[in-house]
Amino acid sequence: MNSRIVLITGASSGIGAAAAEYLMKKGFHVYGTSRKVSGNIDEIKARDNLSGGFIRMIPMDVTDDESVDKGIKFILEKEGRIDILISNAGSGIAGSVEDVSMEEARVQFDVNFFGTLRVIKAVLPVMRSQGEGRIIAVSSVAGVISIPYQAHYSSSKYAVEGLAEALRYEAAPFGIKVCIVEPGDTRTGFTSNRVIAANATEDSPYYERFRRSLARMEKDEQNGPSPEDVARMIFRMVMKKNPPVRTTVGFQYKLILFLKKILPGSILEKVVGLLYN
Ligand SMILES: NC(=O)c1ccc[n+]([C@@H]2O[C@H](COP(=O)([O-])OP(=O)(O)OC[C@H]3O[C@@H](n4cnc5c(N)ncnc54)[C@H](OP(=O)(O)O)[C@@H]3O)[C@@H](O)[C@H]2O)c1
């Protein structure tokens, strides 16, 4: 059962790396992706675990059709199937709506939304022909509540949520289960990998507020829960017979999203404004 084949995009660091490790220890056969894996794809060695699980890192850039197709083809040649996709690769850009250029916005959507879409489209025919499969999209609490100076990141994750929600209906008749995992601030490389908009400089009228907001966010991320906490939740969604459409990681974030449902919008807006603006 646990020797199922898992594809995790963005498994070189943070949440993806933790999920790969966790699933390997449970005996899963994990193919993790990174843009940094070099060398011949066929010569890449697997890390084995006593449980029978392994992690094999393969090169993949989720913004590139050819790279995604090559990675999927490689796994199919080796294993003949892909049981679970954890679409996790992602990045963040920070800056005000006015300061983030159209090109920077496009790059953000290219990785977080179109990257997710591209890999999902590549595995769907495989899972459909198997008559079963599972797709877990790693979104964010920011995919439900938008935060100032993170508009593009939030929008890209809102888009991922919309995609996964609709796909859940479409894929179910083919035995494919789709769900969303929403981490809150998590201690990973995400903070240092975040791109700052080129125009978010001292000349920007948003600069002071932007810097304060970003500093708060960076602090919350670096003091946040470990990626292993998210990995455990991903594992639960892998194992659950009928995973719910979305699962938030961490009590405080579950509470925030619950409050979003029950509080008038104006109160939530005040709280987010106080914290991040
Ligand atoms: N950390 C947080 O606070 C937090 C909160 C909510 C949601 N999330 C989400 O969790 C996911 C994982 O983030 P993380 O926190 O683990 O960040 P991370 O440590 O920076 O890891 C990001 C991963 O994504 C990969 N990646 C980035 N761009 C890629 C591309 N174009 N093609 C392929 N892979 C790419 C990176 O791989 P390479 O650079 O090796 O290619 C890396 O493995 C993201 O979707 C993020 O939005 C994070």
The question of whether 153 is a catalytic residue gets the answer yes
Q: Give the distance (Å) from ligand 1 centre to CA of residue 34.
A: 10
Q: How far apart are CA 58 and CA 54, in angstroms?
A: 13
Domains of the chain with bracketed CATH: 5-276 (3.40.50.720)
Q: CB-based contacts of 237: which residues, under 8 Å, 6+ apart? A: 136, 179, 181, 243, 247
DSSP 91: -
> Is residue 1 pLDDT above 70, yes or no?
no
Q: Say yes or no to pLDDT of 44 above 80.
A: no
Confidence of residue 209 (pLDDT cuts 50, 70, 90): very high
Q: What is the whole-number distance in angstroms between the Cα of residue 116 and the centre of ligand 1? A: 12
Residue nearest to atom 46 of ligand 1 (CA): 90
- Name the DSSP letter for residue 124: H
pLDDT band at 18 (very low <50, low <70, confident <90, very high): very high
- pLDDT tens digits along 108-167: 999 999 999 999 999 999 999 999 999 999 999 999 999 999 999 999 999 999 999 999
